[in-house]
Structure 1
Amino acid sequence: MGDINMFYDRAKIYVKGGDGGNGCIAMRREKYVPFGGPWGGDGGRGGDVLFKADEGLNTLVDFRYKKHFKADRGQHGMGRNMNGAAGDDLIVRVPTGTIIREAETGRIIADLVEDGQEIRIAKGGRGGRGNVRFASGVNKAPRIAEKGEPGEEFWVELELKLIADVGLIGFPNAGKSTFISMVSAAKPKVADYPFTTLAPNLGVVSVGLDHSFVLADIPGLIEGASQGVGLGHEFLRHTERTRLLVHVVDTAGTEGRDPVEDIKIINRELELYDSKLAQRPQIIAANKMDIKPQAEENLARLKEEFGDQYEIYPISSAINQGLDVIIRRVAQLLEQIPKQEPVQPDVDERLTVFSPEERYKVQRDYDGNWRITGKEIERHVAMTYLEEEESVERLQRIMRVMGLERELVDSGVKEGDIVRIGNWEFEWTQ
């Protein structure tokens, strides 16, 4: 099967909020104003990366070849005290039913289950302040401004769990594809061999004028699926959001199989994979009733074995027999069964952990010199105009206030040693 028909339900992508625009260093140079003050405006805020659920999408295939998503940076500040414009947000559309995790930690950021639901994933950086902001009674013409703050950036993992009200389970060739094509507008490809359906087929079933529900054919569920045999493990996840399971069974046993045993095997696999899933309400669609006399004999056995556990509906998808009865019953049951709650995003640990993150860390670098790491200090460096002496002096004051100079001295820094922070390096002098 070519890529064009493949169903992609996982993806790993890189997201980056837009960097803030740089603040401007500018002085008034007007005629008749001999001692013009600072006139540099602020940079604009960087755009955010937003994810938006779109029920028109049903696969993550768009993320197979495009893996980097960056929002626009803010415009730089300008002279005449003009501020830069904010960068545009980037909206990334994903199918409804997509769970978003932080790749490094596995933390769940969001579970997008409703069409149009939107969440900010990567925040844009704030714009740098222009030199107007740094004027004081002591320094009336500062050559100090900030570069824009870098936007947040990290890898996220996307996982699609289909939002279907009803999941069709059963062995390959039990007639699920025919069932879904007869009761909905979906037209799945049907062929007569195991693993015909390599992707979940979705169909919208209309019941009357104002009622409808979504039906998903869950493929690849065979004995051993819960251990990852065949395709089962990948697709079993798609049953997790369904509220009702319709178990389609080949009542005629056309391939020499025993329908009673088939139901036991599939349910055992469900139990092994997810005991909660196995507790979902289930009804049996006893299919292929038009093949006599085996089907009638086996229907009697099914009723004897499972009649006190499950409702059993004799049908024949191929000739559209009994389908209206089972569909009406499914619609009735769905009105009684509450919808699944979406997965709750993990609480951001930064809000619950009382010990603050280390502001910086001092360590020996690969060549015996010094390397300082830490989000806060790296951000200060990234936002400093390193070519402007006054800006560098301000950075050094920040480092002093943070206790970084004292930490370097205590660690054994010597005259002439190189100290590196991010992309910046300087020579230590006493």
Structure 2
Amino acid sequence: MRTWTAPVVPKLPGEGTAPKLYNTASGRFEHPAIQDGRATLYVCGITPYDATHLGHAFTYLTFDIMQRAWIDAGIETVYAQNITDIDDPLLERANATGVDWKDLADEQVGLFRSDMHRLGMIPPAKYTAVTEVIDEIAYGVKQLVERGYAYSVPTPESDGDDIYFDIRAASSTSEWRLGDVAPFERALMETFSAERGGDPEREGKRDLLDPLLWRAEREGEPSWDSPVGPGRPGWHIECSVIARRDLGELFTVQGGGEDLVFPHHEFTAAHATAISGKPLAHAYCHVALVSYEGHKMSKSRGNLVFVSKLLDGTNGTPAADPSAIRLALLAHHYRTEWEWFDGELAQADRRLAAWRSGLTKVSDDPKSASAVIQQLRAALANDLDTPVMLAILDAALDQGVDRPDLIADATQALLGVTL
């Protein structure tokens, strides 16, 4: 799948250090293993049935910053992202609006690429749509069936059977155990399964948490022929196969929003381990959710702030500077839930203007740009502490710096903010 044009990332003098990150799976701050100077990152991509909102942008910006930290540390970075371009929400939106699902997906993927490009996000080196690798995903399902980690459930509305992952079999005989990624009690897992795409009430399942691997062909739904019968893949197996295909086994970081911890990342890891016998990733990093109007931004609730509308300007408001949007998001630490207020962007605009003005400030006691960069690198290495980085730059540019050009390069390289 075509991606977007990469932004310029200036090379700074010296090198930073690889960031210490919070690993959801272990509950500890760690330096994820980096093999031979190469970090590998997989971030779950969009289901393309609606435009990019600020909750999405906060997530993708976090992993953009993570890559910038690795790059500044002299580490080669390979970034992979998927597109879930066949899924129930996409089909439901297409049916509701009378649009062909493929056309809807193409339109929304195009808008997402535009949003990411305009925001200066580093693009993935591997950008894979589910529909591009259906055969490989089906083969992954077949492997799970053959190894005794999957079973069929009769499906009255289809000539074939749905196929489910058997978590009890996998927990007892594979290297994976339920809770390896999601450190939750069983009751909370059951709640999240019901809320986040699971089907705990499905008759014929061996365990109500067992996730769908393959959905047998239904009338009026897209379907592909496969070694496990005509149909389409379930959600988690898609990322299991794509991540291992694009990055290999045991990559550095699996990332996404906090709402993906369970069931998605738990079962993505479970499927991959049951197939390969190895863990999927060294670390699992998750971004907190963003609220608006008192509730988490969600398509079902409709309380969304769309990136494209901010960038284009709507309802008489001026078009937002992409760097101001980045600053508005970077003012919040990626692991802290927060709420977007309409004044956030105006505050970021003021900060951006002050920084740009500060570059031209003549000072009798300018700060050392080299010292400022050292401070920025230390904050970045401390679990991507962007609010501290912004405070460092506030103080430096208010006082004035001896090398404005170096500070401009640093804000571009480390934060993706153009001064």
TM-score exceeds 0.5: no
TM-score relative to the length of structure 2 = 0.24
Q: Which has the higher helix share?
A: 2
TM-score relative to the length of structure 1 = 0.24
Q: Which has the higher contact order (CA 8 A, sep 6+)?
A: 2
